Amino acid sequence: MKNINRIELFDTTLRDGMQGEGVNLSLHDKLLITQRLDDFGIDIIEGGWPGSNPKDEEYFKEVKNLNLGHAQVCAFGSTARYPDKVNTDKNIETLLKAETPIITIFGKTWRFHSEVSLGLSDQENEELIYNSIFYLKEAGRRVIFDAEHFFDGYKDDKTFAIKMITAAESAGAETIVLCDTNGGSLPAEVFKITGDVISKLNSPIGIHTHNDSELAVSNSLAAVEAGAIHIQGTINGFGERCGNANLCSIIPNLQLKLFKSLNPKIDIKKITSLSHYVSELMNMIPDNRAAFVGKSAFAHKGGIHVSSVLKDSRMYEHIVPESVGNTQHVLISDLSGQSNIHYKAKELGIDLPENKEFNKQFVQSLKTLEYEGFQFDGAEASFELRLRSELNEYEPLFQIKYAKINVLFDENGLEYSEAVLKVEVGGEIEHTACDGNGPINALDNALKKALLRFYPEISDIHLVDYKVRVLGEKNGTDAKIRVLVESSDGNETWSTVGLSYNIIKASQQALSDALNYRIFKNNKLKKVVSNY
């Protein structure tokens, strides 16, 4: 990172973000998010703590198979336990075994923690930091040092805190990250302390903040204004307790307000989509009121505000919504959302007609579906099918005329699920049945069995993820169910969505979209090849 003249973005959604209450990701989810973060333009992706759990160990093996275009993957861990046993320390060994080009280790920079948690003297803690970093550097890794509880440590004993990060710099840490671990510092404090550190050290300085005082974003920006050029955070601010600094707020502020240079690959118009994609994979409800990316971030309702916004939106919007991939939402108007449709259509390679009436009608149809409970963020294949249907480019390639799902279980442990289907393809009816591990698996198996004779290319398609969200929790078991399905053919993955009061019907919609999408794409590709 030496001589870099732009802000380096470090994402820790897959490590620190996973510590948030209710947050959970499968290995496949982590790999999907890694790819999406790379596509967006994040510089460093902290994948986890190798050795802490089997999932993270497997992640560092599998992530090597991703074709990342820019981002570097980073492993996280602590300093060694004893200053004189670094070369045999298990944590240090697992960090090296992860084989990432970058390693982040944290160490104690608050004397209170050093003495009480580790029982070390000042000199021993200093040696622990120095020896751990030096050993990793000798192994050929770029080392980032997270100065844990730095701001609390600095306020408690400035000399001790500075001495510890100086040891890290002397050992070869390329970036020193000042951590507001407890999230209790104020922006003015962060600005002053960061500036003091920069005056004393030669290494690039970074910032890592938590949101316990609702100041994580403010504190991160204060550090940048003081001279920090490396920012750590998570998508949507997911993280332990009140969360981490939210990159979905930090990045737009850096680029649109502070005019800081970031990775030129970043297209900030994709940040709303990225935010919603991560929420969907985490099975978390997106925050409608989130700054920049929330559904309500540019929403206006009734009265003088709407009148003013329709004349010139600058009166009540601090930025142009489309600049962050969001849209103005006038609740009494059908004018919002067209730019997003055009942006997405262009991304998908679809030419939209100039007919404004078509655009309005399609936007309104999407609004109606979203009002009913559909969500197309994270289900882009379903969105594309609906858009192409409106353009008369696509119609479903099969229809399920009849479906019957049988589920049996008893007190003796017997479990049995079977799906019976009648599927119509081109006027021909295929009547089939198949069992499975539960009703959804039986339905999936039966549908593929019915279609295989007509579309042999679906044999490679398999379901890699399945998520269920209950909408309107107050309605209990009478609530609508939204199902998000992730499918793959071994080369590509795509997402589809279904909605119903019946979980099996919602699943059938999502599974049907998944197969229709791949068959449609294959047919489209065949036409291109034959024409060529």
Q: How far apart are CA 218 and CA 209, in angstroms?
A: 9
Q: What is the pLDDT of residue 382?
A: 93
Which residue in this structure is represented by tokens 């009478």?
Answer: 478
Q: How far apart are CA 236 and CA 230, in angstroms?
A: 18
Helices and strands per DSSP (H, E), number in the chain: 17, 16
Residue 155 near residue 184 (C-beta atoms within 8 A): no
Q: What are phi and psi of 78, to 5 degrees?
A: -105, 170
Instruction: Name the DSSP class of 87.
Output: G
Averaged pLDDT for residues 191-209:
97
Q: What is the pLDDT of residue 434?
A: 94
Q: What angle do CA 154, 158, 164 make, to 5 degrees?
A: 85
Residue 509 near residue 495 (C-beta atoms within 8 A): no
Q: What is the pLDDT of residue 235?
A: 97
Mapped onto helix, strand or coil, the DSSP state of residue 449 is helix
**pLDDT tens string 274-304:** 999 999 899 888 888 999 999 888 776 555 5
431/1: higher pLDDT: 431
The pLDDT confidence band at residue 369, using thresholds 50, 70 and 90, is confident
**pLDDT tens string 16-39:** 999 998 888 999 999 999 999 999
Q: How far apart are CA 525 and CA 532, in angstroms?
A: 11
Q: What is the pLDDT of residue 491?
A: 85
Q: What is the pLDDT of residue 331?
A: 45
Q: What are phi and psi of 496, to 5 degrees?
A: -135, 165
**Cα 115 from chain centroid (whole Å):** 37
Amino acid (1-letter code) at residue 302:
G
**pLDDT tens string 104-120:** 999 999 988 777 777 78
List, in order of start, the domains of the chain with CATH numbers.
8-266 (3.20.20.70), 299-372 (no CATH), 398-454 (3.30.160)
Q: What is the pLDDT of residue 119?
A: 74
**pLDDT tens string 513-525:** 999 999 999 888 7
The pLDDT confidence band at residue 451, using thresholds 50, 70 and 90, is very high
**pLDDT tens string 39-68:** 999 999 999 999 888 899 999 999 999 999
Mapped onto helix, strand or coil, the DSSP state of residue 495 is strand
Q: What is the pLDDT of residue 313?
A: 73
Starting at the earlier edge strand, list the strands of the sheet with 462-471: 462-471, 480-488, 493-500
Q: What is the pLDDT of residue 304?
A: 53
Q: What is the pLDDT of residue 334?
A: 32
| Model confidence, pTM | 0.69
Q: What is the pLDDT of residue 531?
A: 56
Of 381, 377, 326, nearest to 348 by C-alpha is 381
Averaged pLDDT for residues 316-327:
85
